[in-house]
């Protein structure tokens, strides 16, 4: 499934954050890019969401989360749909969706996905491992439910397409896998991959010449 590039970033590139408190501002930019027609009511509810910093900390880890990077995914909706097959479990939290669905192509192209990486540091032991999770943002749209009915000509009936039902009150869905704390980093970013600080990315995204990426 094709995916519109996230501005100048390419799959494998990473966005670096000075600390985790910058993540909400980044999420706001992503949400505005995904759905620039968000209603005032939807925007108000979105702004009141639970912060990622309050749920990304792995269980039984009370140290510092540092060296934060979000690595841009290729074909994010496809990776969302295969997350469980790849060994991930979804976070069960009211502010996050936990049941990914097949959606129509237009909705799928709105999805943005990132691998969350950070170093878990202890005051007495230094870096003790890497915090790993996968994170997605997507627009509420049409769900595609494959048909199980076979027609008289042995053809499968068309898929059933219906409007997604969401409980958060916003037009943006968030998905987060349960964070893991691993002793060894499972991703070595390629040297050719681009790293960009959030401040630079924010400045670029706020420029008037940026076009609506859904066009």
**Tens-digit pLDDT profile for residues 120-179:** 888 877 788 899 999 999 988 777 766 665 555 556 656 655 556 555 678 899 999 999
The Cα–Cα gap between 128 and 184 comes to 9
- Asked if residue 4 is part of any domain, the answer here is no
Q: State the average pLDDT over residues 180-202.
A: 71
Q: How sure is the predictor about 26, in pLDDT bands with cuts at 50, 70 and 90? A: very high
**Is 190 a domain residue?**
yes
Work out the pLDDT band at 116, boundaries 50, 70, 90.
very high
**Is 153 part of a structural domain of the chain?**
no
C-beta of residue 63 within 8 angstroms of C-beta of residue 56 = no
Residue 164 · residue 138 · CB < 8 Å: no
Could you tell me the two tokens for 182?
A: 């691993």
**186 pLDDT exceeds 60?**
no
In the predicted model, what is the mean pLDDT of the chain? 80
> Is residue 152 in a domain?
no
208 pLDDT exceeds 50?
no
- Dist. CA 46–CA 174, nearest whole Å: 10
Kindly report, residue by residue over 53-83, the tens digit of the pLDDT.
Answer: 999 988 888 888 989 999 999 999 999 999 9
Task: With respect to residue 164, please indicate whether it lies within any of the assigned structural domains.
Answer: no
- Would residue 194 count as lying in a domain? yes
Banded pLDDT at 187 (limits 50, 70, 90): low
Residue 161 placed within a domain: no
Out of 16-30, 118-132, 156-170, 201-215, least confident range? 201-215
Distance set, CA 160 to CA 103, 143, 155, 164 (Å): 11, 8, 15, 12
211 in a structural domain: no
Domain count, the chain: 1
User: Could you give the percent of the chain with pLDDT greater than 70?
Assistant: 74
Residue 54 sits in which domain range?
Answer: 14-140+171-205
Q: How is residue 167 written in tokens?
A: 């409980």
């Amino acid at each position: 499934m094709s995916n519109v590039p996230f501005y100048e970033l390419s799959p494998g590139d990473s966005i670096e954050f000075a600390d985790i408190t910058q993540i909400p501002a980044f999420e706001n930019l992503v949400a505005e890019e995904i759905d620039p027609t968000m209603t005032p009511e939807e925007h108000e509810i979105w702004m009141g969401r639970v912060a990622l910093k309050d749920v990304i900390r792995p269980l039984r880890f009370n140290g510092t989360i540092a060296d934060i990077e979000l690595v841009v995914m290729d074909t994010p909706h496809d990776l969302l749909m295969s997350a469980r097959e790849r060994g991930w479990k979804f976070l069960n939290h009211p502010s996050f969706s936990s049941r990914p669905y097949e959606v129509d192509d237009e909705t799928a192209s709105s999805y943005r996905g990132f691998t969350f990486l950070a170093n878990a540091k202890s005051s007495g032991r230094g870096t003790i491992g890497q915090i790993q999770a996968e994170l997605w943002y997507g627009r509420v749209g049409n769900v595609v439910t494959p048909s199980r009915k076979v027609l008289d000509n042995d053809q499968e009936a068309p898929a059933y397409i219906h409007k997604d039902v969401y409980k958060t009150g916003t037009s943006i869905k968030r998905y987060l896998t349960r964070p893991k704390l691993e002793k060894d980093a499972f991703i070595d970013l390629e040297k050719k991959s681009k790293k960009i600080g959030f401040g630079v990315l924010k400045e670029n995204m706020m420029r008037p010449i940026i076009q609506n990426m859904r066009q």
